[in-house]
Amino acid sequence: MKKVGIVGGISWTSTLDYYRLINEGVNQKLGGLNSAELVLYSLNFAEVQQRSWEGVYELLLNACQVLKNAKVDALVLGANTAHMYADLLEQEVQLPLINIITETAQDILATGVRKVGLLGTKFTMEMDFYRDKLESYGLQVLIPDSADTRAYIQHVVKEELGRGDIRPESKEKFIAIAQELILQGAEGLILGCTEIPLLISQSDFSFPVFDTTQIHAAAIVDYLLS
C-alpha cells in the first residue's frame, strides 16, 4: 500500500470525514483489519483565518514539507479553497498531489452533466482557480449571483460548520440557494467546500449532487491501493 500525507485541520470537522471515508474505503476493498496508511498534518484553523487565504501559502508549504519528510508518496489538501495553491505546492515540494478539482471534474463528466452550480467559500466561488479548472474540462459553472448570498455561505462555512455547529435554518437556506441555481439552468450541484456536506447532501435533492469530500476520498483510496 502507498502512503498519503493529508494537510487537514481546514477545518477539523471535515478532516474527520476524510479520515473515516478513506479508512472505510480501504477496508471495503481489502477486508479484514486493513486500513489506510496516512500521515496527517492538522493546521490550526484559527491561524489560517487570521492570515486569510491569500496569506496562507507558507503554512501549507511547511505542512507539505513535513509530510514529505515523513516519506509519503503523495499529498492531499483537505480543503477546496486550499487548491488555489495546489499546482504551486506540487511543483515546489516535488510530490504528486491528488487534486480535488480534477477528481470532481472527472466525476461530473462521467454522469453526463455539463452545467453545474457551485457552492463553496467566497474564494472558491469568486476566484478563477476553481472555475477555470472545471471549465478546462468543458464544464459550465454557475455561482449565486448575489454578493450577499456568497457572503452568507462564507459565514456559515466559517462560523458554523467549521465549528461543527449544524443549524436547521442554515440547511433550509442552503437548499433554497441550490434550488435557485437549478432554476438558472444548472443540471447538478457541486458541494465545493469540504464542510458543506455536513449540512446538505444528495438526500436533500432530486438532481445530482457532487460531494467533493466523498469524491476526493475515493480518489485517495484508489491511489493508496494502486
Q: Are residues 47 and 111 in the same domain?
A: no
User: What span, in angstroms and rounded, lies between the C-alpha atoms of 143 and 26?
Assistant: 34
Q: Which domain holds residue 168?
A: 101-211
Q: Are residues 26 and 120 in the same domain?
A: no
Q: In the structure grid, which three cell numbers stand for residue 165, read together?
A: 455547529
What pLDDT, on a 0 to 100 scale, did the predictor assign at position 159? 93
Same domain, 50 and 149: no
Let me know whether 57 and 36 are in one domain: yes
- The CATH number for 39's domain is 3.40.50.1860
d(CA 133, CA 1): 30
Do 118 and 142 touch, CB atoms closer than 8 A? yes
> By the 8 A CB rule, do 93 and 68 touch?
yes
Do 116 and 154 reside in the same domain of the chain? yes
**Domain match, 111 and 174 both:** yes
Instruction: Provide the mean pLDDT of the chain.
Output: 97
For residues 165 and 190, membership in a common domain is answered with yes
Residues 140 and 160 in one domain: yes
123-166, pLDDT tens digit by residue? 999 999 999 999 999 999 999 999 999 999 999 999 999 899 99
Q: Is 214 exposed, middle or buried (0-12, 13-18, 19+ CB in 10 A)?
A: buried
**Tens digit of each residue's pLDDT (9 = 90 or more) over 46-103:** 999 898 888 899 999 999 999 999 999 999 999 999 999 999 999 999 999 999 999 9
* 79 & 110 share domain: no
Number of domains in the chain: 2
Tell me the angle at which helices 212-224 and 12-30 cross, rounded to the nearest 10 degrees.
Answer: 50
